[in-house]
Structure 1
Amino acid sequence: MILNKSEVTNLLDKLASEYRVIAPVEKNGLVEFAAIQKGEEAKLDYANTKKPGKEILFPQSEELFNYTVDTEGVRMQDNVDGQATIVFGMHPCDVKSWVLLDNVFKNDQYTDVYYLTRRANTLVVGLGCNEPASTCFCSSVACGPFAKEGSDIFLTDIGEAYVVEGISEKGKELVAKLGLSEAGAEAKAAAAKLQAEVKADGSVNIEGMAEKLRTIYDHEYWNKLYEKCLGCGACTYLCPTCHCFDIADEATDCNGCRVRNWDACMFPLFTLHGSGHNPRPSGKERWRQRLMHKFNYFVERYNATACVGCGRCIKNCPVNLDIRQALADIQALD
């Protein structure tokens, strides 16, 4: 199907009357995902958002339930969000991160009703990347600028219009309801050309990385890697696949709530035991954990690399620690 760019605003207005629509919007000079009321708020000609799309399903701070204690006992109310939602214009790296997070929030040991309810009620309209940033390396980690895995509908920007593809069954059903015209041969050819030719320039070799990491756990390389790291946590907070969290109860008198907040393995307090012992006492152990988790532990458990190559950790590191260089260095170790 074909969607002219001049029609996008009206289409989003229509969708917003039936669904909660989340799209990239520009605020204070940064692009982020946010719920929109009008189609004109959406900004589709963007590079990666500052914060990852994981926040839509896995909020940075989330009230899980609230409770009240009175003479009759404890009364609890779950805050499960089941509102029908369309995420419009998400790039493939962020969409792929949801596919990876699905493994974490539903597996043989754990099922997260908060994440899964949002997931089941969310339809994703993916948007291909015509111009990946220099920090992007999605093509190296089983993703890519036009990867469609995880999208229900996929858009390819061919200039004055988008070529629209229904991917999943619910995506195809929605496309059929939109009343779009069939894309012509020229438009289809232009989309196919982009999808075949555009790659992320920042390449990295991760072949055999899981096995290599297993053999160098005690290598002296880790003593060098972390030296300039500040431990700020920007790499983990802005990563689409990092999913560490902390849970706290917040109460006043007889009323309270349980809150889940993002946490980060790069913080020194993350593994601090009540006894005072910390099994990851320095940046060395924390950096090793970060790389081992993404390129070894996750691979062994879920047969997938926990990185989508979005480049946020590279772009936003205040001391220019580049994960691509770290991976290249590891590959070169004896």
Structure 2
Amino acid sequence: MMIKMTRRCGLPSMFKILKKDRLPGFLERLAGERQVFAPVKKGEVILIREIDSPSQVILEYRNAKESPKSVLFPQREALFRYRTEKGKAEVDVPAGAAKGRVLFGIRPCDARGLLLLDKVFGGGSSDPYYMEKRRQTVVVSLGCTDPNPSCFCLSMGGGPCSAEGSDLLLLDLGDRYIAEAVSEKGVALLEDQAFEKSDEKSLSLAEKTRKQAEASMQPLAKKGNLEEELARLFSDPVWKDLAETCLSCGICTFLCPTCHCFDLCDEASGQAGERIRVWDSCQFPLFTQQASGFNPRPTVKERFRQRIMHKLSYLPKSQAMTGCVGCGRCVTECPVNLDIREVMVSLSEGKAR
């Protein structure tokens, strides 16, 4: 057997087979116990949404238009509600989800992105809203056998069939999936009646499939140590050239699996109100504007530089993990075709695109 054995939570990885005709029953049993979020078709795009029926699930897809981070880190979330009456204030914190959750069929890049969110929201001053959802969530990822041309996860330390960030990894072998459990949560899922003992033929085919998927990806032609080069280039005119066409629309950050900036605002109505957390973006002009009117990042150049530096220099230093997992969403959805792959190659060479 050639597949690399992964270790997580002190457990060796375990392999079983899930025949495709047994998948609907498995999903139905999962949905009976938990909320299941999976790829579904909405119009012409694939999105990760809560399902009502296994028939909604689409697994023949390359990647969802949006990352699944909103399941754990909602775009808009009420942190608490308050009411004042006769000089007294009552504060009510919304209850957490009554049932556990399953993120099913997400891609390995998105599962790996959750590891960074875990570090950010789970380290130091732990965020209870994120962490409660995370503890209740099981991640079942689906390996990429036909990666998008815009994907570059392999160049960012991941891979199209990587199990990082997953509890259970599925890989399509035609009429069946091979399932690899890499955590205690994943091992528990393999106890379901839908799974069968794996065989050497399936393991060999899985290894061949993984190698073919990796071979189909074009590696980035980065030169030297990009992290060190970025520190040297902080004040370089190259940033103005690179950011020349950027609109500061923020679509790259909203679609990104790892971007996690947010703002807090109070919405009041009479004697009651609530404190809301909403997504924000370092690409927006008002993101760093102070009450005095001073803005330390007044132009597109500084904001574009912040995004790149945060992902590729600051986060590797503070979290020991890059802030880009190579999902390619910012490449395909940028309205002016700014390609972060070209930016990285240019910066590694110390020049503009």
For 1:256-275, what aligned pairs fall within 5 Å after superposition? 256-275=273-292
Task: Report the equivalent of 1:198.
Answer: 213
Q: 2:27 aligns with which of 12, 16, 39?
A: 12
Task: Report the equivalent of 2:272.
Answer: 255
**RMSD across aligned positions (CA):** 1.4
Distance 1:153 1:72 in 2: 52
Task: Report the equivalent of 1:120.
Answer: 135
Is 2:310 aligned against 1:321? Answer: no
For 1:216-295, what aligned pairs fall within 5 Å after superposition? 216-295=233-312
Distance 1:20 1:178 in 2: 20
Distance 2:218 2:150 in 1: 6
Deviation digits for residues 270-295 of structure 1 (CA, Å, limit 9, x no counterpart) = 11111111110111000110110001
Task: Report the equivalent of 1:107.
Answer: 123
Partner SS, residue 125 of structure 1:
strand
CA contact (8 A) 1:246 1:261 kept: yes
Distance 1:181 1:225 in 2: 52
Task: Report the equivalent of 2:193.
Answer: 178
Partner SS, residue 17 of structure 1:
helix
What is the letter of the counterpart of residue 28 of structure 1? Answer: G
Which sections of structure 2, spanning at least 5 residues, go unmatched?
Answer: 1-15
Shift of 1:164: 1.2
For 1:73-222, what aligned pairs fall within 5 Å after superposition? 73-82=88-97, 83-108=99-124, 110-199=125-214, 201-204=217-220, 205=222, 208-222=225-239
Runs (4 or more) in structure 1 with deviation over 4 Å come to none
What is the letter of the counterpart of residue 295 of structure 1? Answer: L
Distance 2:218 2:242 in 1: 20
What is the letter of the counterpart of residue 248 of structure 2? Answer: G
Partner SS, residue 176 of structure 1:
coil
CA contact (8 A) 2:26 2:194 kept: no
CA contact (8 A) 2:249 2:283 kept: yes
Partner SS, residue 171 of structure 1:
helix
CA contact (8 A) 2:82 2:89 kept: yes
Q: Which moved more, 1:252-261 or 1:76-85?
A: 76-85
CA contact (8 A) 2:25 2:194 kept: no
CA contact (8 A) 1:135 1:202 kept: no
Task: Report the equivalent of 1:307.
Answer: 324
Shift of 1:118: 0.4
Distance 1:81 1:130, change over 3 A: same
Distance 1:56 1:167 in 2: 21
CA contact (8 A) 1:140 1:206 kept: no
Which sections of structure 1, spanning at least 5 residues, go unmatched?
Answer: none
Partner SS, residue 267 of structure 2:
strand
Shift of 1:235: 0.8
Shift of 1:196: 2.9
Partner SS, residue 62 of structure 1:
strand
Distance 1:141 1:196 in 2: 17
Partner SS, residue 203 of structure 1:
coil
Shift of 1:197: 3.1
Q: TM-score, normalised by structure 1?
A: 0.96
Q: Which moved more, 1:231-240 or 1:77-86?
A: 77-86
Distance 1:28 1:222, change over 3 A: same
Distance 1:259 1:95, change over 3 A: same
Shift of 1:206: 7.3
Shift of 1:185: 2.1
Distance 1:261 1:206, change over 3 A: farther
Distance 2:234 2:250 in 1: 22
Partner SS, residue 197 of structure 1:
helix
Task: Report the equivalent of 2:9.
Answer: none
